[in-house]
Structure 1
Amino acid sequence: MNPYRILVVDDEEDLCEILQFNLETEGYLVDVAYSAEEALKLDLSKYKLLLLDVMMGEISGFKMARMLRENPKYARIPVIFLTAKDTENDRLTGFNIGADDYISKPFSIREVLARVKAVMRRTAVAEAQPEEEKLLE
């Protein structure tokens, strides 16, 4: 069983349901928020990954990610954008904000799962490095 908790933030309920089902099938613990405002009311520090839509209500996914990157408590939480905004400028904006990956809609759920696993692997390696460095001292 996978101990990682993921937050899906998207205003499309059907898409959230599909993502939640497939991620839970892979063993992840998944919560859903249907807006950035709803997500920002949660204790985000318990999540190992955020899947964010860009185009949502008052606070866009870009704005939410920017807010997270500016907050030391949440700055290191990996973010993958899942969005219909697929121009080169959109992708570059996402990466410049600090996205760990950017997936354009429509997408293959298998590809999303593979990218989630890849980000989780990189995060686990990055988190383990300080411990390894301590052991070498």
Structure 2
Amino acid sequence: MSRWRILAVDDDPDILELIEMSLADTYDVLTVSTPSLALELVETFEPDLIILDIMMPKVTGYQLIETLRQRRDTARLPVIFLSAKDTIRDQKYGYKLGATTYLTKPFQPERLTRNIGNIFDHTPPGRHPKRWTLGEARERLRNLLAEQSAPPPPAPAKLQMPGMPKTVHHRESQAPDDSKWRL
């Protein structure tokens, strides 16, 4: 029988390590530090659940869940918000956006585990016909990170502006468009 898959998204490496240590004996856990990486890995890793921080640089957890809810393949994917935003108003907003559960930091790993178990008690595993192994998903993550840190190739001469270095022009012309993340 295949194990449940969990994708954890948080910009704090200590939180990601705690999540992974708490869940790895029972679940296949993949951790990433940005929502943009999470969105790319959703198709590769095909998680059964996402644990999602809200306050992250550039793209927030709110923006990521809105994107997930708009896609047919992830519209019903269970999402647990795990955030330092702890007011009732924050929690109501998280549920309004489609969170399955909302937990606040600091959190108790046992409570997270119990909430995940409750969600999985009501969801059939293995809904994906062809799933990547955890190792394959981690390899995909390594490749994505390498692509992001690799120096860009020089721009074709006809695209260069006079006096501008080749790599700077290319990097600016190839910068990721974050407009899909804007509300």
* TM-score, structure 2 as length reference: 0.65
Partner residue in 1 for 2:55: 55
Partner residue in 2 for 1:21: 21
Partner residue in 2 for 1:112: 112
Partner residue in 2 for 1:75: 75
Partner residue in 2 for 1:39: 38
Deviations 1:20-77 (A, max 9, x none): 011012x200001101011112134710000000001111001100110011111111
Q: Which runs of 5+ in 1 are unaligned?
A: 128-137
Deviations 1:107-127 (A, max 9, x none): 1110010001111112239x8
1:40 partner amino acid: L
SS at match of 1:43: helix
The 4+ residue runs of structure 1 with deviation greater than 3 A are none
CA distance, structure 2, for counterparts of residue 123 and residue 10 of structure 1: 24
Write out aligned runs for 1:6-17 (5 A): 6-17=6-17
1:94 partner amino acid: G
1:101 partner amino acid: T
CA distance, structure 1, for counterparts of residue 11 and residue 18 of structure 2: 13
SS at match of 1:30: strand
Partner residue in 2 for 1:131: none
CA distance, structure 2, for counterparts of residue 105 and residue 48 of structure 1: 22
The answer to whether the 8 Å contact 1:2/1:28 transfers is no
The alignment's C-alpha RMSD in Å is 1.7
CA distance, structure 1, for counterparts of residue 97 and residue 123 of structure 2: 18
Partner residue in 2 for 1:132: none
Shift of 1:102: 0.1
SS at match of 1:123: coil
User: Which structure dedicates a bigger proportion of its chain to strand?
Assistant: 1
CA distance, structure 1, for counterparts of residue 14 and residue 70 of structure 2: 31
Q: Which runs of 5+ in 2 are unaligned?
A: 128-183
Percent identity, aligned pairs only, is 34
SS at match of 2:82: strand
